[in-house]
Amino acid sequence: MTTAPDTGTPDVDVDLMVFGDNDQAFLEYPQPHYAKMRARRPLLSAPGAVQTTTRAALDTALRNAEIYSSGMEGAPLGTERPLIPLQIDPPEHRKYRKLLDPLFAPKQMAKLEPQISAQVNELIDGFEARGSCDFTNEFAIPLPSQIFLRLFGLPFSELPQLLEFNERTQRPGGSTAQEHLAARKANAQDVYRYFADVITERRKEAPRHDLLSKLLTTDVDGERLSDEEVIDVSFLMILAGLDTITDTLTCSFKFLAEHPGHRQRIVDDPSIIPSAVEELLRWETPVMTIIRVAHADAEIEGCPVKNGDYVLACLGSANTDEKEFENPDEVIFERNPNRHIAFGGGIHRCLGSHLARQELRVALREWHRRLPHYELPRGFVPEYSDGLRSVRNLTLLFPAAS
């Protein structure tokens, strides 16, 4: 088992990270690698790709969407059309956010608090007496999935199907790039068919109060979304909305299980939870890297970028940049200000951030109220997924309720 430092990072000496590796040591403690990458910033990691690692370099890439596009034509997700709004550039992007932002506004998400709280408690009821849980499968996956499906307006029985779509996009079968692409294309066709059927059924009914009904019935600038547009939004929602909170929960609870001092801070003073959530997002940054493609010759911090180059924006590294954060290698729940970019930046900044924050805060509050003492099993070896950082096998032990 790798010993976690009390605060900060282990003293490791490794080569620069090549993204896409399934390097478990990197995935568990990426922060020292980020520091090494920043020392070589911004570096040309491969022909046709620039890796940006500092906060300043990422700001340039993410805040200039006219040059650094997320259009990604031919992106390897196997889709026929861009995912909306993630793969749409300005000015069209604005139209979609105008429709979607109010649906995910803080006030709307605050209304979900009782439902999230009830859901968290129901899940804990299921394993509290046992004194242990498969945290990933019994808590971190079902919680955001149940909340999201209800919000979207799909029955919970659809979850296995949606998780399968998600898994086949993130980790497609095959061993070569061509095989991956073929598997993703087949998956995308299945997703298109699935949502086309859901929409056809929905159109036969009176509108409900859920997200899908709102997508089907709301006008933006006098126009309604076409069925294809609703499918392309829905496709992105299941990719962005199911996994990311799961990933953040598993990374955060592993950190807390390994750092009893931090955990006790939450137990003693739950009012610290909102800023603890931000600091855990900064430190763990489950979405490590996002990608843009340059639509013109340009320059980032003195490094030439050619038209057509991919720009790999390493959010995890920007979130531990010593120029932005004092003592970046310490996890400080009171950190203020905390301008982390775990939710991205610029026009594509996460649409679901308020939903994510609400779920993470309620999960931390209710969990620590009921199960203040927990730990990892002796000899626990975490298994991280590649792609998004997530502990796939997190197990927690706690005193069994009598």
Query: Of 77-106, which residues contact ligand HEM (CB under 6 A)?
Result: 85-86, 97
CB-wise, 388 or 396, nearer to ligand HEM? 388
Going by C-alpha positions, the residue among 287, 283, 308, 284 that lies closest to residue 298 is 308
Which of 17, 77, 123, 245 binds ligand HEM (CB under 6 A)? It is 245
| Of the residues 99, 188, 290, 331, which one makes contact with ligand HEM according to CB under 6 A | 290
Q: Which two tokens stand for residue 399?
A: 């005193």
x/- mask, ligand HEM, residues 328-367, rule CB under 6 A, reads: --------------xxx---x-xxx--xx-----------
CB of 310 to ligand HEM, least distance (A): 12
| CA pair distance 345, 40, nearest whole angstrom | 23
In the complex, the smallest distance separating the C-beta of residue 228 from ligand HEM, rounded to whole angstroms, is: 17
Q: Cβ neighbours of residue 63 under 8 Å, at least 6 residues apart?
A: 345, 346
Beta strand pairing call for 223-224 and 219-220: antiparallel
What letters, b where the CB count within 10 A reaches 16 and e where it falls short, cover 86-105?
A: bbbbeeebebbbebbeebbe
> What 3-state DSSP class applies to 208?
coil
Cβ at position 94, least distance to ligand HEM in Å: 10
Is 367 or 380 the residue whose CB approaches ligand HEM more closely?
Answer: 367
Size of the site for ligand HEM (CB under 6 A): 24
Rank residues 89 and 134 by Cβ distance to ligand HEM and give the closer one: 89
Extract the runs of DSSP E, i.e. beta strands, from 198-309: 219-220, 223-224, 289-294, 298-300, 303-305
Residue type at position 377: P
Q: Which amino acid is at 390?
A: S
**Exposed/middle/buried for residue 30 (C-beta within 10 Å: 0-12, 13-18, 19+):** buried
Here the tokens at position 368 are 């620590």
Residues in 51-80 that interact with ligand HEM by CB under 6 A:
70
Q: Which residue has the tokens 């307006």?
A: 153
Closer by beta carbon to ligand HEM, 347 or else 397? 347
For residue 289, list its beta bridge partners.
314
Closest to ligand HEM by CB, 278 vs 380, is 278
Question: Which of 57/245 has CB closer to ligand HEM?
Answer: 245
CB of 131 to ligand HEM, least distance (A): 28
Q: Which two tokens stand for residue 64?
A: 């200039």
CA dihedral 31, 37, 42, 43 (to 10 degrees): -140
Q: Which is nearer to ligand HEM, 311 or 380 (CB)?
A: 311
Q: How far is the CB of 292 from ligand HEM (least distance, A)?
A: 7
396 touches ligand HEM by CB under 6 A: no
104 vs 398 by CB, closer to ligand HEM: 104
- Shortest Cβ distance from residue 381 to ligand HEM (Å)? 25
Asked if 363 contacts 143 with a C-beta cutoff of 8 angstroms, the reply is yes
Residues that bind ligand HEM (CB under 6 A): 70, 85-86, 97, 236-237, 240-241, 244-245, 248, 286-287, 290, 315, 342-344, 348, 350-352, 355-356
